[in-house]
Amino acid sequence: MGVPLKQQIGLGMYILGKKLRREKRYPLVLMLEPLFRCNLACSGCGKIDYPDHILDKRISVQEAMDAIDECGAPVVSIAGGEPLIHKEMPQIVEGYIRKKKYIYLCTNALLLKKRIKDYTPSPYLTFSIHLDGNRDRHDASVCQDGVFERAIDAVRLAREKGFRVTVNCTLFQGESPQEVAEFFDHVNTLGIEGVTVAPGFSYERAPQQQVFLQRKGSKELFRDIFRLGKGRGWAFNHSSLYLDFIAGNQNYACTAWGNPTRNVFGWQKPCYLLVGEGYAPTFEALIEDTDWDNYGVGRNAKCGNCMVHCGFEATAVNDAFANPLKALRVSIRGPRTSGPMAPEQPFIYDNPDSQSVELTVETDSQDRSERVA
């Protein structure tokens, strides 16, 4: 199914307007993190290690509306933490729908059955359900048995009630392409619009050589998966050129300002993945005061293995705008799964460690399981 045509046209008109006004940096998706508290404690989570007084903070309805008015993005991804824990989430969603913003409400789905009555189906609202693979893989990923089944039940319930639904999946090296293919087959039978997929982001810095190997490993994994997927009719919630990028066929630089993050600390520099780079008080200050040239693959050791959509989907969309025939070709044929890969962005720093920045955000050594809401 993929992204509905009306939404694609709306996004296209927005980009065209920005290009005609010659705006250099503009957002496509606001990443709203309205709280960091969660009801799971996944091993790979980079969001729940804050002390309780920070986990108890919430972005208010007014702050959520101000964030979208400030940046003007046509799409909002509401993440966290677990957004369904936020007591004012229905009002935030309602406010964004009134503003005709396309909302992806990202959830681990544990609370969806209980809270779904607080929401009304709308072309502007999509539940994006976190599922990292088949039962064993997902339950291991979220460190709790039974979560996969509850998430699948939530997908079915949301579809029965007429909501738009996508599945949000993160893959890591060492995955079995065959198992991922079976997982994509399964979720595509559930009436979802598509799968949002990305290679997992490692928060550890790596030496240059290892970075290349990690990136190559991710691209080979996606080539293997897409090769298996030919003719199986999978729908993805991405532009065709982003899929081509993660399969190693595009040499893209990061467009981090395309997916700005507003959370309980302010506007996070430069993206939701990097901690310790500081916060801006307003969207305008984020755009003006962030040293964007200091970020991206080859420019900053922390970015070395990043191929995540928050940095590269906006690059791919801009490329599709500039080269529509290329985008159409990839869309019809699918990403290329053999032959040479596109070269990497050049590394322009000498010593990866020289870029290291100490964490400035408070964390806490409390056991993760004790944080669960």
- List contacts with ligand SF4 (CB under 6 A): 38, 40-42, 45, 47-48, 80-82, 108, 130, 142, 254, 256, 270-271, 273-274, 295-297, 303, 306, 308, 310-311
> Measured from the CB atom, is 17 or 51 closer to ligand SF4?
51
Least distance from C-beta 333 to ligand SF4, angstroms? 27
Taking the complex as a whole, the smallest distance from the CB of residue 344 to ligand SF4 amounts, in Å, to 12
Which segments of the chain are extended strands (E)? Answer: 29-33, 75-78, 102-107, 125-130, 164-171, 194-199, 261-263, 266-268, 279-280
CB of 305 to ligand SF4, least distance (A): 9
Nearer to ligand SF4, 199 or 334 (CB): 199
- Minimum Å distance from CB 36 to ligand SF4? 8
Q: Measure the CA–CA gap between 326 and 308, rounded to whole angstroms.
A: 21
Find the Cα–Cα–Cα–Cα dihedral 88, 89, 94, 96, rounded to 10°.
Answer: 120
* Nearest residue to ligand SF4, by Cβ distance, number only: 311
Q: State in angstroms the smallest separation of the CB of 130 from ligand SF4.
A: 6
Cα gap 267→260, rounded to integer Å: 7
Choose between 224 and 277: whose C-beta lies nearer to ligand SF4.
277
Give the residue from 226, 133, 216 showing the smallest Cα distance to 171.
133
The least CB distance from residue 316 to ligand SF4, in Å, is 13
| Nearer to ligand SF4 among residue 108 and residue 337 (C-beta) | 108
305 vs 206, 221, 245, 342, CA distance in Å?
8, 14, 13, 15
Task: Please say which residue, 158 or 228, places its beta carbon nearer to ligand SF4.
Answer: 158
* Tokens 């190559």, located at residue: 216
- Residue 124: what are its φ and ψ, rounded to 5°? -90, -5
Q: Which is nearer to ligand SF4, 290 or 337 (CB)?
A: 290
> Which whole-number Å values give the CA distances from 298 to 339, 350, 351, 356, in the listed order?
23, 10, 11, 14
Tokens linked to 180: 């991922």
